[in-house]
Structure 1
């Protein structure tokens, strides 16, 4: 027999020996088909409820084109220095908020890690507390703190700190749980206490990962600080919402361009720093 004949004979023999393996998985296909149909039906229902209209979308695209033309060329309108100061304030909000959240989340993360605190009650309580904090969006935190401490960048920094505290606490605890336990076991075997195991066995191994996560959050919070400024929490967002309302679109374009350039620079620098922290070449 030739090669193809041998392969066909082997497949036929396998079919006789293991018939169940060659049967079509009709049940799995049915479940997948029903799930896909359910998603399509849910999407259709959502489009109806949200009054989705292709005609409105096309008309909106035309209107968007008109706005884009009105934004050219970007210009500062004699307020370039004020815009730069507002951008610096936005970066300060993002930096202080991220740093505060990281400092608060660092010790709490060890309480939420199973390999540090095996008590299930403590672990469950801390994890659920972090879930509650991070379930509230940064914009809502901004509105809360504006009513507590008043308008301005202080409220913005507090909003970012609260929103990131829950998220960083969860990520930090998961990073601690994935650390190789052998260095800590070595510290304990040499007579070290539990605090020594954490200090010399866990923290050095997890710090690069935590630093990388903090850098990423700072990059993301630069955009978040712009958004919360729209509701009065300081920064360049206050100028942005004011200029949009009065249709000073060229100045809006200038602000957007400033934000894009700043985020691009932060992204490039933080990306290199993250690579350096995890052991790669920074430059």
Structure 2
């Protein structure tokens, strides 16, 4: 593995000299960002940041709603037919194998520039990812609970409703919260290609070397992501029944 790493660095022309020079230039950029100054655009940044959060929230929640029923079709203990199970799993793999940035470029050409394309891009990526994770959570449930429901006269729908769903619902909710955290960062990136949010400001200021407003926008993003991570982590721990870390 180390030999392959060395070969990759040689082929990609990654040298200590270039890395050191890059660090020096990065330090110059950071110094030029200080002190951060919005130059009268603070509330435009806030509006764009709220739009980014809206893209992440709408995309994540819609993808979870769509992925939940499909995940039952992808679970072996729900659909024993190997061909149906295989087809659904591979379909989810194909959808999630395309990065959100690529989906954003595709949807921009379909629906035009703006946050709608960003929401659709996140839906596509998360539908595949959440569908796979949900199905794995369903397969990991304790089969004895379902056997108990069947033994008392219940049918397969009763087994899913009263044995499987109570076991997987906390796991699903925890995974959706984690994806929302990640999508706040993804929504920032896909905005660079015109899918709404703060990404368009980031791309413009980097191109124009408008670094002091860039500094305050980066700071706003870091604070927002940190707050969301803190809140969602506590909610996730509460859902799965573990006390939050102090």
Could you tell me the TM-score, scaled by structure 1's length? Answer: 0.85
Match in the other structure for 1:198: 160
Gaps of 5+ in 1: 1-38
- Cα distance in 2 for residues equivalent to 1:115 and 1:82: 50
Does residue 73 of structure 2 align to residue 98 of structure 1?
no
Alignment partner of 2:45 out of 71, 83, 87: 83
Cα drift, residue 109 of structure 1: 0.5
Alignment partner of 2:233 out of 265, 268, 271: 271
- Cα distance in 1 for residues equivalent to 2:182 and 2:97: 17
Structure 1 or 2, whichever has the larger Rg, is 1
C-alpha offsets along residues 20-71 of structure 1, whole Å, 9 cap, x if unaligned?
Answer: xxxxxxxxxxxxxxxxxxx222222211211112111111111111111000
- Cα distance in 2 for residues equivalent to 1:83 and 1:60: 28
Does residue 119 of structure 2 align to residue 171 of structure 1?
no
Match in the other structure for 1:188: 150
Gaps of 5+ in 2: none
SS at match of 2:193: coil
Match in the other structure for 2:222: 260
- Cα distance in 2 for residues equivalent to 1:111 and 1:193: 17
Alignment partner of 2:195 out of 224, 230, 233: 233
Match in the other structure for 1:136: 98
**How much is the aligned-residue C-alpha RMSD, in angstroms?**
1.0
- Cα distance in 1 for residues equivalent to 2:2 and 2:44: 49
- Dislocated runs of 4+, deviation >2 Å: 280-283
Cα drift, residue 187 of structure 1: 1.1
C-alpha offsets along residues 104-136 of structure 1, whole Å, 9 cap, x if unaligned?
Answer: 110011001011111101110011001100100
C-alpha offsets along residues 146-193 of structure 1, whole Å, 9 cap, x if unaligned?
Answer: 000000000000000100111111100000000111121111111111
State how 1:1-283 maps to structure 2 within 5 Å. Answer: 39-281=1-243
* Larger RCO, structure (CA 8 Å, separation 6 or more): 2
- Cα distance in 2 for residues equivalent to 1:171 and 1:60: 39
Cα drift, residue 281 of structure 1: 3.3
